[in-house]
Amino acid sequence: MTTGEIDQFHGLSTSVVASAIETFRVRMPNTGFCSSAIRCVFKERPPIVGYAATARVRSSSPPMERFGYSYERTDWWNHILSIPAPRVVVIEDLDEPAGLGAFVGEVNANILLALGCVALMTNGAVRDLHEVRPVGFQMFAGNVSVSHAYAHILDFGGPAVVGGLAIKPGDLIHGDVNGVQTIPLEIADQVPAMARKIQQRRQRLIQSCRAASFSVDQLRKAIEVPDLKQ
């Protein structure tokens, strides 16, 4: 997608985009998004969109080969840079339960920003919320942890599962206060236009509800109009 096409998603909520995706019938409507276990950390931020760069981590036990926090695994930066910008880092914490320690905090958030990443998505933990908030990096996470514990990269560049959503490197990610979802690449360039149509339909129905002349019969008629069904 072009930069202009990607930018169109910044002004669209994940909810209206999800409704738009449903109209193309390319996937079941109960798929393609994370469960409510994955929460938006900075709820006031606008929607983010970017291509997935993936990794898998553990934090409750030290690595088998050597002790070391994430800063030592600079090789995964090459994978991140192999993904088109803008990028969303997707990290699956394999521990059970996930998120004893936080892999991303103040330093890693700034590193990821420098690498062209706009957000992190993880079923694990994050930390340093007050320090990360001002830099403009968004985070979607399963929980918050005071420590990074033994957080370390197990592998990267393969499939990851976060909040029940299977993600591959290069998948297009869209997230905001409502949650996180993937946008099927085969229809991605058509989704914003459909989302705008749905926004217009919603507003017409809402205006009907708020009209001084409101009646249930009028609302029923409005809903029955083909281009208002969404």
What's the confidence (pLDDT) of residue 230?
40
Task: Calculate the average pLDDT of the chain.
Answer: 92
Q: What does the pLDDT look like over 111-141, one tens digit per residue?
A: 999 999 999 999 999 999 999 999 999 999 9
What's the confidence (pLDDT) of residue 228?
39
Q: What is the mean pLDDT of residues 138-153?
A: 95
What's the confidence (pLDDT) of residue 62?
80
Return the domain boundaries, the chain.
Answer: 3-183, 191-228
Q: What does the pLDDT look like over 57-76, one tens digit per residue?
A: 999 988 776 545 556 678 89
Q: What does the pLDDT look like over 14-57, one tens digit per residue?
A: 999 999 999 999 999 999 999 999 999 999 999 999 999 999 99
Report residue 226's pLDDT band, with 50, 70 and 90 as the boundaries.
low
Q: What is the mean pLDDT of residues 181-204?
A: 95
Q: What percent of the chain has pLDDT over 90?
A: 80
Alpha-carbon distances, residue 230 vs 18, 23, 195, 203, 212 (angstroms): 11, 8, 10, 12, 24
How far from the centroid of its chain's Cα atoms is residue 81's Cα? 19
Q: What does the pLDDT look like over 10-22, one tens digit per residue?
A: 999 999 999 999 9
**3-183 sits in which CATH class?**
alpha beta
Please name every residue paired with 144 in a beta bridge, in sequence order, or none if there are none: 126
How far from the centroid of its chain's Cα atoms is residue 46's Cα? 12
Report residue 223's pLDDT band, with 50, 70 and 90 as the boundaries.
confident
User: Full-prediction pTM beyond 0.85?
Assistant: yes
Q: Taking the alpha carbons of 46, 52, 58, 62 in that order, is the dihedral positive or negative?
A: negative
